Structure 1
Amino acid sequence: MSELTIEKKEPAAATLPPAIPYEGRPIARTEHPHIIRVSGVRGGEPIIEGTAIAVWAIADMYVRQQFTIDALLAYWPHVHPAKIFDALSYYFDHQRDIDEYLRQNSEEIWRPRTEAKRRAWLKKQKSLSTSTSTSVTTLP
């Protein structure tokens, strides 16, 4: 019988995100070893330690968007798999609260607001482009 080996390749240093500065901010540890809360980072919501990735973001991708575990790991190649799994574990331990947070911040609630801003921005861009457009003359 052959032995199964799973290797996680580390990304090149140039692809790693910059370190998340927590200096001077109170860090609250949770019952999950890789999940913390930092005052002033993601509004104090639970995040993966060493990142600013919110647990709710991973939960949303896994549950609502139906990302597979492999897709989550590929999406965040710089995050150790144990941290992704711990974020999912935290989600399932606090599912009611996180689902409520996601419901309150859902696209259905925010889309009308962002669409109105988008339409206003497009209208402004259109008026700017028509007011500053000049005719182009082609030389013979």
Structure 2
Amino acid sequence: MARTIRRTAIAATTLGVALVLGGCTATNPITTQYSYAPSDGVLVQVGDGVSVENLMVLTEGEGQPGHVLGAVVNRSTEDVRVSLQIGDGGATVPLRVPAKGTVNFTNDKITTPSVGIAPGGVLPATVSADNAGNVSVDIPVLDGTIPPYDEYLRQNQA
């Protein structure tokens, strides 16, 4: 009789622990189900189906040229025009992104002549898209000390 009570108590305890641990997923959403910036850059939702992903600027130092990394992703069914303005009063870079397409800043070698912030800081920027308005964002400024960013700075120096 004592053995049956003991088995029942162990089974109930095991079931209780399983329910408590399983309940954690009910109250904590799974992060990978949501859009987020998994790298050092930032994610900017510009409009329906249009986002700028992993946006960052690489530079060797304050006042040096900057190399823009990231991509514009258009998940919509229509072509879209996106504009990127880096820094206060900086030049605006217009981009045309095809429907269901991507424009990679690294492949297009988008740069800024001078970064007014030292690596480790953030640079103000504005991203806009057709019929979506403007989105202000702070872009992280990084240097080439973290692989693979050093290779981007070397490629753009050549």
* Coarse TM-score class (shorter-chain normalised): under 0.3
- Choose between structure 1 and 2: higher strand proportion: 2
- Choose between structure 1 and 2: higher helix proportion: 1
**Pair member with larger Rg:** 2
* TM-score normalised per structure 2: 0.23
By relative contact order (CA 8 Å, sep 6+), the higher-ranking structure is 2
